[in-house]
Amino acid sequence: MKTKTPSRLEKILAAGHLAVTSECGPPRGSDPVVVEKKAALIRDHVDAVNVTDNQTSMTRMCSLAACIRLKQMGVEPVLQMVTRDRNRIALQSDILGAACFDIYNILCLSGDHQSFGDCARGQNVHDIDSMQLLQTVRRMRDEGKFLGGDDIGRPPQMFVGAAANPFADPYEIRVPRLAKKAAAGAEFIQTQCIYNLEKFEQWMAEARDRGITEKVYILAGLTPMKSAGMARYMKNRVPGMDVPDEVVQRMADVPKEKQPQAGIDMCVEAIERLKEVKGVAGFHVMAIEWEEKVPEIVERAGLFPRPEV
Amino acid sequence: MRLSYPTDIRIVRVPCTGKVDLIHILRAFEKGADGVSVVGCMEGDCHYNSGNFRAKKRVDQARKILDTVGIGAERVRMYNLSSSEGPRFAQYAEEMAEMIRELGPNPVRKTLQRENHQTGGER
Amino acid sequence: MIVADKKPLEEIIEQIKDCGRLLVLGCNECVTVCEAGGKKEVGVLASSLRMFFLKEGREVKIDERTLERQCDPEYMEEIRNVADGYDAIVSIACGVGVQFTAEHYPRQRVYPGVNTCFMGATEARGLWTERCQGCGQCILAETGGICPVARCAKRLFNGPCGGSTGGKCEISKETDCAWQLIVDRLQALGKMADYERIAPIKDWSKDRAGGPRKIVREDVKE
């Protein structure tokens, strides 16, 4: 498949390799070292690193700045951009800011409601939604035009992605929503973290039936469990998460000090199983505040070293 | 039954305490009443189904307002009893009167009396 | 209707405590229906304020009046002859009424007695919920009669977001997910194909963002 941008992630996917991405959360402060340290732990084991955008509405260093730091240290960033905090002027403006530093990947999201974060009394913007943001980036890139219609000097060359949750409510629209994102311009998808492999495989089957896997690269999201407590928490308290009882049981069956390793083992096994699923183009390993485990997961899953493109 | 209860209680009869509106309670205090008790049927036994529940809510609203304006929530309360309980009525009446005597006169009375004195007659 | 809620009595007292002659002005329409600013509420507020002043030892004239509406000049004129008898008016109409009262009676201090909240409907007595935010370009035909601008916490046009759980919004288990409602409606109407249409970017210039709005109808103007 031909590539449209200089994105390394796109090149890897286009060449038919399984891609590996991971995630890095910027600090609640301005220290660049925090970002650099996290990135350094994973840089050789992934093709690109997502930088979250004021995740859970907690004010943090902006994703764009952290992405620039990553770029400067030679790591390929994926700029996560939510529509909660910026109107269409600021969104387009930040996209150009990212393009100015040759950031070649963007993930378009709505963003958690501000009531979850530290500024619950603030306004939310949502001038456009994530679907419309996908359209906007594609228009800026492919037509070289602003939303307003004027030409853009040196249009952004960005590989455009969106998030998807194979376990979300309402049930009826899990696959139609994916189709919608593809139609809006998403070129790659990173899913919510998967524990119910069967359900995910079903979702993939429906996506294949509709031809969606021909249009977008789907990266399966995975987060290793650290403990049985974490498994239970994610099962019961996190919306949109499907954690089967067997997963919780497996964590609980093991003594506390062995649980982290069990979590990692399960993650590796999931990758091995999902590698066989047609249409899975790669893996998005989110080991939040546990970045040091990413290399082990990637190596044991047989995905190291990362291919040259 | 010819039981005695305090003479400083004025009785206003209503077919059901549900007929007592918030404004009736407030007006009483506005005009200088020292206390108001709303006496209704036992909960669940209201002759008109839920009139006494409505009255209870209104008494609660009145209490909040009376506290805010500085007259005191304690001056209004709701009692529930069945219409045959003469002795209990007398007991509640005495209880309320005693409590109000302890609280003292409604603070608006001073101003009302002064105004009466100034205008030389009933308002 | 416009739905409002009574301001705390303490707040109103704080505003008017220096007044000597007060008019409590109610409205017979929306605020009557949501039991915040009608004739009954005028009576309760006036009585409460009288007690406050009496307790402070002050004689303050507090009158009560309820107009049919406080958003039409004809009704506002009804108090023209008496307005100068007051130094303040507490209008317990919606924010429109309070402002119209102030415009018509610039010599009196005008205070709001309710917090105006939203355009909504009565779901049951004592329960009013938001339905419309006056965005100026109604899209209800496309969303099965359910408004994502007013009922989705993120006003998504291509929802739901990933936080929708069991038909409820991520912000509260008591808030319906508007997009769940829309999907249910589209299904019931056999219009699920409409779900995949990508709704275009909204023109917010017709909304508050474009500045204070007005409607001019040449066909009915005199």
pLDDT at C44 over 60: yes
Interface membership of A48 toward C (CB under 8 Å): no
Domain A8-300 sits in CATH at 3.20.20.220
Please check whether residue B70 is in contact with residue B110, taking contact to mean a CB–CB distance below 8 angstroms: no
Nearest to C165 among A112, A136, A239 (CB): A239
> What integer pLDDT is reported at residue B120 of this predicted model?
55
pLDDT at B121 over 70: no
Predicted confidence (pLDDT) per residue in A189-200, tens digit = 999 999 999 999
Nearest to B30 among C13, C51, C56 (CB): C51
Task: Give chain B positions within 8 Å (CB) of C44.
Answer: 22-23, 26, 65
ipTM of the complex: 0.92
Predicted confidence (pLDDT) per residue in C6-16, tens digit = 999 999 999 99
Task: Give chain A positions within 8 Å (CB) of C201.
Answer: 88, 128, 132, 135-136, 147
User: pTM for the whole thing?
Assistant: 0.92
Distance from CA of A283 to the nearest CA of C (A): 19
Q: How far apart are CA B13 and CA B87, in angstroms?
A: 18
The whole-chain average pLDDT of chain C stands at 96
Angle between helices B51-68 and B22-30 (to 10 degrees): 40
Buried b / exposed e along B56-65 (16+ C-beta atoms within 10 A): bebbeebbeb
C184 C-beta neighbours (distance < 10 Å), count: 16
Predicted confidence (pLDDT) per residue in A2-52, tens digit = 899 999 999 999 999 999 999 999 999 999 999 999 999 999 999 999 999
Range C123-132 contact pairs with CB under 8 angstroms and sequence separation of 24 or more = C126/C35, C128/C3, C128/C34, C130/C3
Q: What is the residue-wise DSSP string for B58-112?
A: HHHHHHHHHHHTTS-GGGEEEEE--TT-HHHHHHHHHHHHHHHHHH-S-THHHHH
Alpha-helix residue ranges (DSSP H) falling in A83-153: 88-100, 130-138
Interface membership of A126 toward C (CB under 8 Å): yes
Q: Percentage of chain C with pLDDT > 90? A: 96
Domains of chain C listed by start with CATH number: 2-117 (3.40.50), 136-210 (no CATH)
Q: How far apart are CA B65 and CA B57, in angstroms?
A: 13
Chain-chain contact of A168 with C167 (C-beta, under 8 angstroms): no
> What integer pLDDT is reported at residue C38 of this predicted model?
97
Predicted confidence (pLDDT) per residue in C56-109, tens digit = 999 899 999 999 999 999 999 999 999 999 999 999 999 999 999 999 999 999
Interface membership of B60 toward C (CB under 8 Å): no
Question: Cα A14–A18–A22 angle (5° rounding)?
Answer: 105
Which of A113, A116, A145, A178 to mutate: most C Cβ within 10 Å?
A113
Q: What are the sequence ranges of the domains in chain A?
A: 8-300
Interface membership of A88 toward C (CB under 8 Å): yes
Nearest to A169 among C165, C192, C196 (CB): C165
Chain-chain contact of A168 with C154 (C-beta, under 8 angstroms): no
Please check whether residue C132 is in contact with residue C120, taking contact to mean a CB–CB distance below 8 angstroms: yes
* pLDDT average, residue stretch C33-62: 96
Interface membership of C185 toward A (CB under 8 Å): no
Neighbours of chain A (3+ CB pairs under 8 A): C
pLDDT category, C18, cuts 50, 70, 90? very high
Over the Cα atoms of chain A, what is R_g? Answer: 19
Q: Is chain A touching chain C, with at least 3 CB–CB pairs below 8 Å?
A: yes
Task: Give chain C positions within 8 Å (CB) of B27.
Answer: 47
Measuring CA to CA, how many Å separate C59 from each of A212, B24, B107, C137?
Answer: 78, 21, 14, 52
pLDDT at A126 over 80: yes
Distance from CA of C54 to the nearest CA of B (A): 5
Chain-chain contact of C52 with B26 (C-beta, under 8 angstroms): no
> What integer pLDDT is reported at residue B119 of this predicted model?
63
Interface membership of C155 toward A (CB under 8 Å): yes
The CA dihedral of C5, C8, C9, C11, to the nearest 10 degrees, is -120
> What integer pLDDT is reported at residue B122 of this predicted model?
46
